[in-house]
Structure 1
Amino acid sequence: MQGKVALVTGGDSGIGRAVCLHFALEGATVAFTYVKGVEDKDKDDTLVMLLEAKAAGAADIGFDENCRKLVDLVAKEYGRIDILVNNAAEQHLSHSMDDVTESRLERVFRTNIFSQFFLTRHALKYMREGSAIINSTSVNAYSGGSEVLDYTATKGAIVAFTRGLALQLASKGIRVNAVAPGPVWTPLQPASMPAESMKGLGSSVPMGRAAQPHEIAPCYVFLACNECSSYFTGQVLHPNGKNASSIATHNEPSTCLGFLLMVFVSELVGFRWNDC
């Protein structure tokens, strides 16, 4: 990934931050967005200074004009965008549909799926053959999420968006894929879920635990790196601890198997991730 320019939304914490770190360690220049209201002085100096990641700014990416300004800012700074990671999301606890007000429903859809439409549309002006788009979805898109119903609906929409966009851009040589993590220890969880739920986070999956963000980030490196995933588009990786409740479509288990096979073969031939 040496010399590549990546734009990552929601890059200040959780999976997004881990993705920024992994991309930068592989040689990419990384710009990221963060939650509105967080000042630059609160950013991790290690991430910003040592790994050549740059805070593109606090922008409400649920609105088209903000997305245009953000993308143009990154393109003006670096000349192009090679990798777009649509990762920013929000979720809120809901025990019934009555808890999901019209304003909240719009807010969650704007952050989680509208932003992906807007950012992708504007970023495509600066992307070329060989570029990659990676969308963050969730195991909830397959297993359901009764306590985060609006969030779950957006994650299902992201899967459909990924597949449709992949077909649209295949002839241009731009790949579009997604990652659907299972339970992960991120700030989003305790901020939106009751404390009692946090005690057992991940206990229902066969591996018996939730993942750490750094365990999920390599999936994004794989999908961003042409040497690793040049024949992957319209597919979803499922790092979910073998969540027994997830229901994947027929082609997605082979996607995961292909990823594991690629890693295994890479080890055999001495391939290094930082060769990407």
Structure 2
Amino acid sequence: MVMDLAVELIHATVQLEQPLGDGTRTVGTGFLISAPGPDGAPRTVLVTANHVLEKMPGATVRIGYRVSNPDGSWSYAPQPFKIRDAEGGALWTHHPSRDVAAISIKAPPEFARAALPVNYLAADDTFAEEQVGAGDEMMALGFPRGLSANSAGFPILRSGRIASYPIAPAKVFPTFLLDFSVFPGNSGGPVFVSRATKAQPGVTQVSDAPRDPGFIAGLLTQQVELNSERLEIGIVTHAKYIRETIDLMQNPLAPATVAETTTSVAGGRTASAEEAARN
């Protein structure tokens, strides 16, 4: 049972980057979901926004894994994986009408274990059952401007309130608005509701019944701009379309969707927010 969805998703969220020839890099966010494959066996699926992968022209992308060390520290250990075949064809599966992409990966064991079960993705009736609506708070994880929370490469956690109404059903309102600042690099990150509560000193837990940890509401796909001015509003695509994209991976006519990671990139590092503040 996942008890703190925020912490679990932090471990399941990764930076995606592709260095470009001019010394810059294209950056996005992805997160890992555990879903059954065509044979019923579990597989690790990387979910992100479709435009994140489309805008990466090369065949290989770095995925920002993190490794825990015996002394309690963490190291950033990115690994390359292919997103295009030799002819340039996409190896990922994308939703036919929404900005959602998914690709099956062979992640290191600790990251395969960190992948969230597919049932944590909101279903068609989740918003109604949970009575989620305008003004409610949600959280989001990502790498704004390619920045991490620290040198270990963990994502930055943000929060905001639902800024649109109505937000369901998803088939009628496929996206909704979240009131918080969005930057390039945030795209593809998970947006979620966490029900975790911290135990207070001296307070006895009344019930031993499992608590609802929350759910993944969708993924961040766009920022709202008007005349090149950012309005500090994010557009979130409902998790329904993540579920549908993962289901499309079962289609034998879909693109080849298994991308195998190899060895870590030597000298891989990530830019932290603290470093950016010093510059």
Aligning the two structures, in what range does the TM-score lie when normalised by the shorter sequence? under 0.3
If the length of structure 1 is used for normalisation, what is the TM-score?
Answer: 0.25
Q: Which has the higher helix share?
A: 1
Q: Which has the higher strand share?
A: 2
Query: Which structure has the higher relative contact order (CA within 8 Å, separation 6+)?
Result: 2
